[in-house]
Structure 1
């Protein structure tokens, strides 16, 4: 809390800088020392040596916390790679074992609700980020542990549930209340809103290829599915209002909500960065009101929350949820100043709501753009409408949870509110979004400068034209590099056991296949390829190529066709009875994308690069889908590359590929392709193999690797190198 004058720096601020700096140093990032020194500098500027000491002590504590978490023993290490059967407590996200004490992720995630599970599968290490903008499972799992909470270090793949027992106790009772009398979709929404459990909601779709979670993301409403300060504010506000109406004394009016926040966090909901930050801040505010200390110092309270979070969970510093939560609250501290600059004839509540929504979106912009590759364009109206729904939905849903199986009468009110929120997400989620590539250091620096200019304008330190000019100059500087040096490259995306190749040229973006997941419902196109394209700054596809009717090549194209504007879809054989190709063609029809059946000699050119179709010739078609693959030759002056789909030998040797600089080996390095005669004919200097780690097909075949080595070709593999980006000459 600050003094009445509000001029003294809260002790928590330099201490938080110190903890952040120490944590970064523990992670091996030397510039963390600058962050810690910044905290000490704030103490020196205030002439308070004690704050300098606190910043330095915070650095030591942050470093120690990070080291403690990192040094946790890996209790499942002896069983990595083995088939195992495990029994533990499933919370919807992790399975917690009692002996040995450990936590692990399950893949695929079981549809069973939280409770006691017996599962079997193979224990493996988590994978890192394979594609730009992709999910780094290994880093995410490291951030889910804490000093006193085991860090998940393994994943059980091929998970099969052998036995399950539904969750009991307080959470089980509460969950039954959220389901009483509600539809499955509304129940899934309420579990996300009240418990932060988004497992069931993640399996819901508004339509084919239009997931509920994607709609919330596109509408700018994703934060509504994560427990945060909104939940704490609405629930404690409702309780304080009830106690006030009952005439409760001040100590009870604020003391009871204060006492209930700890069990709310530890017993009812799962610990996460946003809700932990909200509970700590809520407790600090309520404690101040209970003690009669008056108005809280928001920066000091926010710094206190950061201290608590990072000392207990140091690697949350790298967690997107932690970053979004704290950046949003930091931006919201300027709400009253922005509201004061809006037209005075507007209602004060409307001005505050507008200011808060705009500032929260601007404050989190770089993290959202870099993480999700897109920015919602309708976040402002969507949030203004949705917040009104949430103001009633959160307290009513919580009451329903407290009533357990007796909650049906309350859920008569909850049901239309939940349906309305889902309708808002579905409607606003169909609006266009602004595609955005990964944000680099230059982009972050430009954003920081623009944010500083805007903040100084709100504080009255600089004039509006100067602030606006700074923002526009920063925007121009971030746009110029890409405009002056557009990409010219082949990008071989790591889509696991499958294929996806992107050709980027000025005036032409061509995608060949988009991967797929055989025997699984994992959406490679939506969850891997689309995020990668957005991270690369791809806003449209001029030509998408479906090489042949194999799931691991073309299944993901349906999601790409629905997720990005596509100019034309190329196919070879129009195989009428194939469900995967039919789904791709249906998506093309739905989006109005013309379909072209290409044949040998067809081509497209841009920026001095020519892409020529080498195969197929057309009817008669082979009975083998692989032999009907669309094969392409990419020519840039004297440089040549070939993309051969799954062509087998001897077909690949009969289509006149010619000499090559780069060969994308057919069929993931299968023994049925890339024979010695073909290598003698093409003499590639480099060979790229798109293949999945730990695949069960034996790809790439050892004999193929020997033949490539004998031909003098350097081999690049997506299972070892991840995504491979190949600049064109």
Structure 2
């Protein structure tokens, strides 16, 4: 993603009730609704060993059917689990529910995939579009569809007229990178068209203020608040993070990034916490009315639907929470008591996935349901904490810890890092949110009069931002993508933990399981250490990772000419973390061009680096000066390399081909650091931006893979080099550009030389194994 948090984690910190299993507002109504004798309470069901809820079997079937349609490796396992659960529960006939769910899930997915792309005729054309902007997507009335605007306009939600070129969204271009196309597909459902286009070079032509209930609510929400506090309230009340993404603390650090580093990013995404607090407020207000109990609960349920569809909009986490809250309130209104927690979660999952099948692949959906599943065990964990602690504190600690553990694999794999201060940060922020969310909701309901309530909102919002600023400076634990063996190991550890909470195994068993699974996940990396050259797709720029045992080297880290987009922080670092690279032995700055070395400063700030290699030092260059300053600040040794310098590691030899010992030229390109890597007779060369006359002087010898110099410029990859190297394959690192790269003449020369061409702008990141 762009590294946006297009998700929520529902890590709720509450001190009363059974988190997320029902709503227990302190309204004085808890004794008014009598529980039906035919429906035992949750506690009674647990004591009597209740049977598996039929909704669980149905949900497993729906999930398995969608996975079957997507062709994933987990589909058979999920379906078998549903059937086995029915047999284990001594109700084998209910296994048919799993099969029915599988057919329904498969059919829902295929129905969505069959929807026509109404914007296809305009793809590639310059267009002017009119629609409703929600801060993230532009919804069009004619033709019916939704598009992304790039760059995102600095406009408040409401009707917009924009122009630009309509292009297809991109898939995942780098390991750990944002798969825009897949995410957009997941935003569609059976009744909602999936966004299918990106309006590139979007220019705002006309704007109108947001109207309706949402416009009224937003005006009250921000009335009288400073910019940062107003942006925060829009994020936590409406889920609109467009404004908070542009806000910074006084030291220049991004507020949104600080939320993520503090483990508080879920506060900016609408979730069960919002629904619980707002529902409690609504029922408290309704309790002061003359309405009877059934009407109060029924009216509360109806207002939840208004909240979802008319105010905040449909998204995975808030839809899940509203479905669960609505079901609980309706059950209470008709005197049926609170539903079984796991059955209720399964019902919400089934409803969500039948309407939006591809939500199954959405990070927000995964985090929301993993968090609420973990929270069902919070009361058990609280009972195991010291009894001398207050019950409220034990429940808050339990809920926070379990939500962190429940969402751990998705957060680690998706975002490449784990916050280390999530527990204290959530305990402090949770208390503030318990007061801030209801107050903000009241301010929104009052519209322009909300400024009166915001007199109390402002200091609370400032306090929350202060907590985020302090904890956002804490270090984080870097992580990488989790392989199937890691997922299986985590699931086994989670099962052991649940059995311990239920008193069915001892703590020693859990500890042994965790240690064994940890060793299991580490073993594959030790048996098969990485040996590869990775040509990262950084757009119009260069970034190449060399990995052999005992040597991890990054050559350049891209850059963005004329833009404030940090390629190093937003693209290169996530890719390295996704590949399990947590430190570098060497970082190489080939020469002083923005598209090569601008991103290296962020790499040095975020990862331990042993040495920084440079060629001839260019005095007075701002990019080089900044890079050297960061290296000095981080204690990274700087080495000026010269032709003939050599490093050997595990049978591989890396040699510096250029620059020579004397100053060759005053031109940056002609001073590029050029490298060759040889292993077992296999050979590749990375030539920076060297021109063709310098290439001829390198003496590369035969190459299996040539990394073409200067992105395929017509001034590089000359005939002399091709005759000498005769590369079987040529990699060109290139993106959208106005320079004409790669030049048609270069492509033709490569074809005539019999070299197969690989381009990062066409294939994304290229991973080449080293023998």
1:718 aligns with 2:755: no
Partner of 2:161: 118
Structure 2 Cα separation of the partners of residues 555 and 404 of structure 1: 46
1:411 aligns with 2:454: yes
Relative to structure 2, which stretch is displaced further, 494-503 or 582-591? 582-591
Indicate if the aligned counterparts of 2:279 and 2:300 stay in contact, CA closer than 8 A.
Answer: yes
Partner of 1:425: 468
1:300-319 correspondence to structure 2 within 5 Å: 300-319=343-362
Structure 1 Cα separation of the partners of residues 224 and 668 of structure 2: 49
Going from structure 1 to structure 2, the CA distance change for 1:623 and 1:166 (only over 3 Å counts) comes to farther
Structure 2 Cα separation of the partners of residues 412 and 564 of structure 1: 43
Going from structure 1 to structure 2, the CA distance change for 1:603 and 1:241 (only over 3 Å counts) comes to farther
Partner of 2:740: 698
Aligned-residue Cα RMSD (Å) equals: 2.3
Q: CA deviation at 1:208?
A: 7.2
Please give the secondary structure, in 2, of the residue aligned with 1:544: strand
1:613 aligns with 2:650: no
Partner of 1:213: 256
1:635-674 correspondence to structure 2 within 5 Å: 635-636=678-679, 638-674=681-717
Partner of 1:460: 503
Going from structure 1 to structure 2, the CA distance change for 1:621 and 1:110 (only over 3 Å counts) comes to farther
Partner of 2:440: 397
Structure 2 Cα separation of the partners of residues 403 and 544 of structure 1: 56
Going from structure 1 to structure 2, the CA distance change for 1:608 and 1:26 (only over 3 Å counts) comes to closer
Match of 2:375 among 332, 349, 373: 332
Partner of 1:350: 393
Give the TM-score, by structure 1 length.
0.95
- State the 4+ residue runs in structure 1 displaced beyond 6 angstroms: none
Indicate if the aligned counterparts of 1:599 and 1:616 stay in contact, CA closer than 8 A.
Answer: yes
Q: CA deviation at 1:366?
A: 1.2
1:275-674 correspondence to structure 2 within 5 Å: 275-617=318-660, 620=663, 622-636=665-679, 638-674=681-717
Going from structure 1 to structure 2, the CA distance change for 1:397 and 1:577 (only over 3 Å counts) comes to farther
Structure 1 Cα separation of the partners of residues 472 and 662 of structure 2: 43
Partner of 2:27: none
Partner of 1:167: 210
Q: CA deviation at 1:539?
A: 0.9
Q: CA deviation at 1:602?
A: 4.0
Q: CA deviation at 1:112?
A: 0.9
Structure 1 Cα separation of the partners of residues 509 and 167 of structure 2: 55
Structure 2 Cα separation of the partners of residues 635 and 9 of structure 1: 60
Going from structure 1 to structure 2, the CA distance change for 1:660 and 1:54 (only over 3 Å counts) comes to closer
Partner of 2:35: none
Please give the secondary structure, in 1, of the residue aligned with 2:692: coil
1:224 aligns with 2:283: no
Partner of 1:13: 56
Q: CA deviation at 1:207?
A: 6.6
Higher relative contact order (CA 8 A, sep 6+): 2
Indicate if the aligned counterparts of 1:209 and 1:559 stay in contact, CA closer than 8 A.
Answer: no
Relative to structure 2, which stretch is displaced further, 273-282 or 707-716? 707-716
Partner of 2:7: none
Please give the secondary structure, in 2, of the residue aligned with 1:166: coil
Indicate if the aligned counterparts of 1:15 and 1:51 stay in contact, CA closer than 8 A.
Answer: no
Indicate if the aligned counterparts of 2:616 and 2:663 stay in contact, CA closer than 8 A.
Answer: no
Indicate if the aligned counterparts of 2:189 and 2:355 stay in contact, CA closer than 8 A.
Answer: yes
Structure 2 Cα separation of the partners of residues 639 and 205 of structure 1: 49
Relative to structure 2, which stretch is displaced further, 532-541 or 429-438? 429-438
Going from structure 1 to structure 2, the CA distance change for 1:419 and 1:587 (only over 3 Å counts) comes to farther
Q: CA deviation at 1:629?
A: 1.7
Going from structure 1 to structure 2, the CA distance change for 1:647 and 1:352 (only over 3 Å counts) comes to same
Structure 2 Cα separation of the partners of residues 10 and 681 of structure 1: 71
Partner of 1:3: 40
Going from structure 1 to structure 2, the CA distance change for 1:182 and 1:579 (only over 3 Å counts) comes to farther
Structure 1 Cα separation of the partners of residues 525 and 121 of structure 2: 48
Going from structure 1 to structure 2, the CA distance change for 1:485 and 1:455 (only over 3 Å counts) comes to same
Q: CA deviation at 1:135?
A: 0.7
Structure 2 Cα separation of the partners of residues 373 and 24 of structure 1: 25
Q: CA deviation at 1:651?
A: 1.6
1:114-263 correspondence to structure 2 within 5 Å: 114-206=157-249, 210-244=253-287, 249-263=292-306
Give the TM-score, by structure 2 length.
0.90
Relative to structure 2, which stretch is displaced further, 230-239 or 48-57? 48-57
Structure 2 Cα separation of the partners of residues 564 and 205 of structure 1: 23
Structure 2 Cα separation of the partners of residues 618 and 86 of structure 1: 58
Relative to structure 2, which stretch is displaced further, 700-709 or 660-669? 700-709
Please give the secondary structure, in 2, of the residue aligned with 1:510: strand
Partner of 2:117: 74
Structure 2 Cα separation of the partners of residues 317 and 394 of structure 1: 28
Indicate if the aligned counterparts of 1:22 and 1:33 stay in contact, CA closer than 8 A.
Answer: no
1:105 aligns with 2:142: no
Q: CA deviation at 1:590?
A: 4.5
Q: CA deviation at 1:484?
A: 3.2
Q: CA deviation at 1:619?
A: 6.5
Going from structure 1 to structure 2, the CA distance change for 1:556 and 1:679 (only over 3 Å counts) comes to same
Going from structure 1 to structure 2, the CA distance change for 1:46 and 1:634 (only over 3 Å counts) comes to closer
Indicate if the aligned counterparts of 2:556 and 2:596 stay in contact, CA closer than 8 A.
Answer: yes
Q: 1:319-338 CA distances to partner (integer Å, 9 max, x unpaired)? A: 11101100110111111111
Q: CA deviation at 1:39?
A: 3.0
Structure 2 Cα separation of the partners of residues 573 and 497 of structure 1: 24
